[in-house]
Amino acid sequence: MMWLKLAWRNVWRNRLRTGIQSLLIGGTVYVGVVFHNLALGNYRSMIRQATRMGSGDVAIYDTLWFSTRRPSRFYSVGPLRKLLHTPEVRAFYERLYLPAFAYVGLMGFPVNLVALDMRKEAADHPLLKGHRPSGEDGAILGRGLAERLHVRKGDRITLTVRDAKGELKALPFTVDGILDVPIREVDCCSIFGNIGYVRRSLGYGDGAHEVAIMLKGESPERFARKINRRLPPNLKAYTWKEAMKELVSAIAMDYSGLVLMMLFLYVVVSIGTANVLFMSVMDRTREFGVMRTMGMKPRHISLMVALEGLLLGTFATAVGLSLALLTNLYLSTRGIDLKAIYSLLSQEGMTYGGVVLEPVIRSTWEWKGTLGYSLFVVLLSLFASYFPARYVSGIPVGEALRK
């Protein structure tokens, strides 16, 4: 206890210097914790949006279609419906993905026809909220494609698409909605239509290329392993990480950049901490010499300097962590509203990794990383005291007294 009191007193001998270094250390902890939790909250939001727009938590594909995207590799969903009516499944969506050629008069462009149950998916799909088809031949397309085809809501368009037998067939649609989304593939090249209408018109029966499964809380990996044991050989259940590898890579790269930035900042702060402790021991070299003449051993002096570094790091970390937790409490409940930025930039939204970001970014609570960042800073402060402690313990007593 005496050593702690002595070290604490020595830390605050120069209040200005200690205050500035505490501010730097606490600020580093604050930035690390806040940005860590905000980034993870944003990633979870991106994943939630991506699973709703794309593969779901788990998706079932024909293995050959998953690797080649051949339209002919569809499968019958009928046997799977009973299999998916389990307590773990919140909802599942059947979809067809067909290359097509959309034209109005003499104007035409290649497009991707996404056939799905728009009424059923309206609750989950971020792009389809607020858009309900008025008839079975209703279609929703992006603003860019609508402008290229010169069509408005209520106009008729025709798609040339191959049916289940591979023969070309003309399929008429009525424009029921136009999407304003910042995803280029949707804006200029995609048309959403009712899967029931497409199946009947093209002879697909109960066929689908994808069944996107939304889970209630079950681990996607565990559910995929369980359901794969009951699927025929040509079908396989993929987790969202397997189905959307581009998104996984984008998140991994972004988080790696954040970690590298924080490591660089922490190294700079540890160098500053070592410098503060060096200046402190240099100011007290004669005092250490007197202690040595009174019988204090070099290792005790090193221990005292190490305790000073540890107390400085612990105090500053506690302050920074407290402020970070208060900030995170606000960000996790209120979040950062980006709508004003969108309106300033005249954009409908922002995308990352092919996913439309939610307009409000909220933080999350990830205690492992939060406590890990804090402990790392404390250990860095302790490590920064090693060189000053080694220096002061190695000075000869006579030289120390002459300082």
CA 379 to chain CA mean position, Å? 28
Under the banding of pLDDT at 50, 70 and 90, the label for residue 162 is: very high
Residue 94 has pLDDT above 90, yes or no: yes
Beta carbons of 98 and 108 less than 8 angstroms apart = no
Beta carbons of 33 and 328 less than 8 angstroms apart = yes
52/47 Cα distance (integer angstroms): 8
Residue 344 has pLDDT above 60, yes or no: no
pLDDT in tens, 310-343: 888 888 889 999 999 999 998 888 887 776 665 5
275/191 Cα distance (integer angstroms): 63
pLDDT in tens, 25-64: 888 889 888 988 988 888 888 888 888 888 889 999 999 9
Residue 177 has pLDDT above 90, yes or no: no
Angle at 259 between CA 254 and CA 263, to 5 degrees: 150
Q: How far is CA 291 from CA 150, 286, 401, 403, in A?
A: 89, 9, 10, 14
Q: How far is CA 59 from CA 125, 142, 230, 381, in A?
A: 15, 25, 14, 48
pLDDT in tens, 198-207: 999 999 999 9
Give the pLDDT mean for 333-358: 65
What crossing angle do the helices spanning 367-384 and 386-393 adopt, rounded to 10°?
20
Beta carbons of 218 and 44 less than 8 angstroms apart = no
pLDDT in tens, 237-257: 999 999 888 888 888 888 888
Among all chains, which residue has been given the structure tokens 């939060």? 370
Nearest to 266 by CA among 16, 20, 12, 27: 27
Classify residue 87 as exposed, middle or buried by CB count within 10 Å of its CB (0-12, 13-18, 19+). exposed
* Helix locations, 169-212, DSSP H: 184-189, 195-202
Residue 302 has pLDDT above 80, yes or no: no
How do 190-194 and 107-116 pair as beta strands? parallel
CA 35 to chain CA mean position, Å? 12
CA 362 to chain CA mean position, Å? 11
How do 58-62 and 210-215 pair as beta strands? antiparallel
Beta carbons of 269 and 24 less than 8 angstroms apart = yes
pLDDT at 304: 75
More confident residue, 388 or 330: 330
Beta carbons of 207 and 76 less than 8 angstroms apart = yes
Supply the DSSP string of 87-152, one letter for each residue.
Answer: TTEEEEEEEEEEEEEEEETTEEEEEEEEEE-HHHHTTT-TTTTT---SSTTEEEEEHHHHHHHT--
pLDDT at 346: 47
109/191 Cα distance (integer angstroms): 12
Residue 236 has pLDDT above 60, yes or no: yes
Classify residue 265 as exposed, middle or buried by CB count within 10 Å of its CB (0-12, 13-18, 19+). middle
The 10 Å CB-count burial string (b at 16+, else e) for 360-386 is: ebbbbebeebbeebbebbbebbbebbe
Nearest to 27 by CA among 263, 259, 321, 232: 321
Question: What percentage of the chain exceeds 70 in pLDDT?
Answer: 82
Classify residue 259 as exposed, middle or buried by CB count within 10 Å of its CB (0-12, 13-18, 19+). middle
Give the pLDDT mean for 363-385: 84
179/145 Cα distance (integer angstroms): 10
